[in-house]
Structure 1
Amino acid sequence: MLDSTRIDNLPSAPGVYLMKGKDGQVLYVGKARELKKRVRSYFTAARDARYHIRFLMERVADIQVIVTDTENEALILENTLIKRYRPRYNFNLRDDKTYFSLRLDPTEEFPRLGIVRKVPRDGARYFGPYASAAAAREVLKQLYKIFPLRHYPLETCRRRRRPCLFHQLRQCSAPCHGLISPQDYAALVDGATLFLSGRSNELVRLFRQRMETAAGKEEYETAARYRDLLQAIRTTVEKQKMVSHAGDTDVTGFHRDGNRMELSLLFIRGGSLIGSRSYSLAWELDDAEGIASFLREYYSGEVMIPDELLVPLPLPESDAFAEFLGVKRGKRVAVAHPLRGTKLELVRLAEKNAATSAREKEQRAADSRTILAELQERLHLPRPPRRIECYDISNLQGGEAVGSGVAFADGRPDKANYRRYRIRTVSGANDFAMLHEVLSRRFGHQQEDAERPDLIIIDGGPGQLNVLTAVLRDLGVDDVAAASLAKSRVDREMAATEIRRSDERVFLPGRKNPVVLRQNSSPLLLLARIRDEAHRFAITYHKTLRSKASLTSKLDEIPGVGTVRKKSLLRHFGSLKRITAATAEELAGVPGITGELARTIHHHLATDKKGGT
């Protein structure tokens, strides 16, 4: 327990406090409008009623404070220190990459929409967020039917001899081939912007006015086009659920179960609910402080910041947080805790989503525990295989050989711990030796501090399993179980009328006969999923290296083509395939490529192409 005199001497000023353990490790970073008041609250008798605080305070041996001039400075400093120390008792969001937004840069010639993960402040317009790329693509699919904007980079389209297939489907206006004027294309961009901003009523009024103007001038084809656009907009808008008359709003709800907090975010854009996202996080302090900590870290990333943020509880230092959001967005942001009306209903809807998400995750966790317990029993493991790793090799006759390692935690992919290995010591097509190298690198002395799996599986039969067990034995790894999973084989007798497949089999060390799990059972499907994921990961890396090697070798073999000219060619044409298909005259149009060098490149690639065929 800290000396009470020390706490009494803390300043009554805004700042940041760092709670540290006996070894000096930072356990928690917080901010406060009044440092003395906030820190003292952790040591009062009332805090005993907040059972979740006990777990933190029992570990605190020292508290360091940093005074700032303003609350906003304290918030910014808190964010910086959390990213630096990654304290155990602060939130650590790692999956914001799963958000997608639509980006439109109005400064481009004939602007187009693209799907992006991050929302930097680069002057472009962003719409969303959407929970997946599929959801964003579905929005684009519907949008292109109303506003036929271009789909591909302008230079790529202009190199085509005719407009793309989307133009024939009436989902692209083909500005690259001059089939629409800049003024008419700008009108499409304005319409798409209004539509994505949720200002459909304004868009309907605008298009109705243009339709009536065109009809008054007896421009009936133009009037008919606007009539069709109006009908398409009405049909699309009718499918959207209107929840509010507000603009862009994010709504936060939470559900608490012991030291687990489930948080749900609802995204309302232009009055329509377009998506939601839930987070399940460990939290042992106050609810309001947990929500504030989550929101500060979430909005510190490159995400869209709305006009208004609705929260289920009054947040500590909410004015400073609103100021922080406003500075980051470049425009005022309201942070509100509604007590009645439609906004309160939205918060309750978010809380209902959080509770539902918590129940679903608990059910999935229970199912996962059941599957892992069954695996433990059938494979005679000393403990449930909560962490499973799988390794695979990919090469083409020994060339560009790579290995992959994937990790699953509690039955779910742990992609942060996926690993790729370029084979260094093996030449020729020797999968056994390559596997030996990969496993040695994974469990060698330099990896002693890495988290050990409960089970390692290898794709293959007894031969691959023997390599795995030999490496583990050589490295003194005796606390990791091993198994190999052999794919099913086709068994067909000459006189048979049907093709039969054998069962997938699991081989264990020291056991001659394989373990045959019930086909299509959950434990077998989990093992097969992990094996297939390792294979996919290895194949993807192998193809990437082969593509780079092919591209590098073909261009680097041409005299006079160095790094700068190679980059110019790729930047201009986009791919080796298009460079190969280009004429000498087209090659000469690339900056830095003379006429003579263009003929040399064309001759070399044409000769190489004939030789390849």
Structure 2
Amino acid sequence: MNIKEKLKFLPQTPGVYIMKDKYKNIIYIGKSKCLKNRVTQYFMPSYAPSKKIVKMVKFIDDIEIVKTDTELDALLLECDLIKKFNPMYNTLLKSDRSYAYLKLNIDEKYPLLECSIKKTDNGLYFGPYCHIKKLDTIAKILSNHFKIRQCKGIQILKGCIKGDIGICLEPCRKENIEEYSFAIKKLIDTLNGYNLEIIESLTTKMERETEKLNFEKALKYKEDIENIKSLINRTRAINFIKNKKFTICSIKIDENLTKLYIFEGIEKIYSKIIVKDNLDLSYLDLKKFNKENLYLIKDDIDLSNIIYNYLNTKSECKFFQADKLDIQQINRLLLKY
């Protein structure tokens, strides 16, 4: 059966699609909530999201699909298969991705915020995050907002340009340890995803420039807001996974079926389809699930973002976190549908 014939029979269900060239090499792996719509899209004449995708489609000779119960299953399976087979076009499309940390050198009297490829000392590190170029931009946005110094090393200077324009507390010209320490505390709260003051401030500036018809400046503030929101979202995803709690999730499949998941960090340790009229979970041995210390490596970052974003954005998904697993809590979750 050729590709055109296969497209006619694709299911409208969640799943993973595996694209192969004429030599049966796997060149790309993707996932979708609706396989038929997503896979068919690649072969539409008007579909050209990037030159790499257009080139890839020319090499597709065969497509395999794996149906899954839910979109979350498809997301998790896609991650596993990409790690296993490392398809060429999955690699090419992510070739610009590398990881780095945001670092505060807290051993210094007036800490500096900077990017670091790896942990090298006792500084305070946040991340790791992908897209180093954006991370440099984000570090500058944060430093300007909280007026953190950006010069390497403290020297007594007669003039400070950043201080003169109000984006530095000028520790090179005046002793202000208390004010500087307070700014660092607010910066740390922001990097931990707790303090959203910077987003409110940037939004106000964007709206002000829009009213003045300074659309170029307004667009710059809009980009800054998006960068900060992306950073905070990724930070929350990492903290969500590293908080040493179980994540219990249920996803509605249809009016009668729900799928139950139990995660320990990013590891799925249990999943089962539950029939609405039979919520008896007495068979579930919760004692065998014991939390362990969780350490995220760089390869886990994408998966932590996938799980966090899915749980927090999909209406068909309900979840909670707990230190211990409890049958009654799980039953209450399933009864929400």
TM-score, structure 2 normalization = 0.39
**Which structure ranks higher in relative contact order (CA pairs < 8 Å, sequence separation ≥ 6)?**
2
> Rg larger in 1 or in 2?
1
